Amino acid sequence: MNTELTVASLSGAVALASAWFTARSGRRQALLAHELENRTAQQDLMGRHRDPLLWAAYDLQSRLYNIVDRRFLHLYLHDGSDRQRAYARRSTLHVLGDYLGRVEILRRGIQFLDLGDSTLNRRIVGHFTAISNVLNNDGGSNLRFTDEHFVIFRSDQRAIGELMLTDDGTSCLGYVEFCRKLEEDPDFTEWFAPLTESIEELARTEQPPYRLIALQHALMDLIDLLDPRAERFPDHRRTRLPRPPER
C-alpha cells in the first residue's frame, strides 16, 4: 500500500511538474511571439517611413542652411519678383510642414508599439524631442533663445503635422495641394500665419537668429542617425552651419 501511495504521489508530482513546465513554456513562447510581432511591426513602420522622414529632414535643414548662409529669403522674398516671393514663402512653409507631418505619422504609429529595448527607435524619438525643443519658445532647458522668429509651440507643432496629412493619414500633402489649401482654406492658412510672419521678418533681418542654426544642427543629427553610412546623402551634402561665438 505504501509503495502504491508512493508511486501515486510521484506520478502526481511528475504530472504537476509537467503541467507547470508546459504552461511556462507556452507562456514563454507567447511572449517571444509577441516580441517578434512587435519587432516586425516596428521594422515595418520604420521601413515604410524612414526614407520620407529622412528626405523631409534633409529638405528642411537645406532650406535653413540657405536662409542663413546664402540669404535665401533676402534674395527671393525681399528683393525677388512676385513669383520668387510667392515661391520663397510657400516652399519654406511646406518643407517645415512636411517634416512635422512625417513626425506625426511616425508618432501615431509608435504610440501603439512597445519600443522595448529597440535602441534605434528610442534614439529617433529622442531626436524628435530635441528638434521640438528648438522649435518651442524657450528651446528647452539647455537652449534659451531671445528671438521670436520661427517659434512653434509644441501643441501647434502637432496641429500643423496633423494638417499636413492626407485623408488616409499615411502620407503628407504634396506641394501643389499644400499651395492650394494655403490659398483657399482660411482655417488651414491661419495655422501657418505666425510662421508666415516670421518668414517675412527674417527676409528683412541682417543677422539670422541662432534658433535657425540650432535647428539645422538638430536636423543633421537626425539625418546622421537615419543614414549613418551616408548612402542617401553623401558627406559633402551634410555641411553644418557654423555656430556663432559664445554669447
| pLDDT at residue 231, rounded to an integer | 92
pLDDT number for residue 108: 84
pLDDT number for residue 81: 96
The predicted-structure confidence for 151-197, as pLDDT tens digits, reads as follows 999 999 999 999 999 999 999 999 999 999 999 999 999 999 999 99
Percent of the chain with pLDDT over 70: 72
Question: What is the per-residue pLDDT for 33?
Answer: 47
Q: Where are the domains of the chain?
A: 49-237
Identify the residue with better confidence: 119 or 145. Answer: 119
> Cβ of 193: how many Cβ atoms within 10 Å?
9
Contact, 136 vs 156, CB < 8 A?
Answer: no
pLDDT exceeds cutoff 80 at 38: no
Q: Which residue has the cell 524631442?
A: 129
**Spatial separation of the C-alpha atoms in residues 146 and 23, rounded to whole Å:** 61
Q: pLDDT per residue over 199-235, tens digit each? A: 999 999 888 888 999 999 999 999 999 999 999 999 9
The closest of 215, 207, 239, 213 to 71, measured between CA atoms, is 207
Residue 116 has pLDDT above 90, yes or no: no
**In whole numbers, what is the pLDDT of the chain averaged over residues?**
83
49 pLDDT band, cuts 50/70/90, is confident
Name the residue type at position 139.
Answer: G
The pTM is what? 0.79
Which grid cell sits at 230? 551616408
134 C-beta neighbours (distance < 10 Å), count: 23
Confidence of residue 34 (pLDDT cuts 50, 70, 90): very low
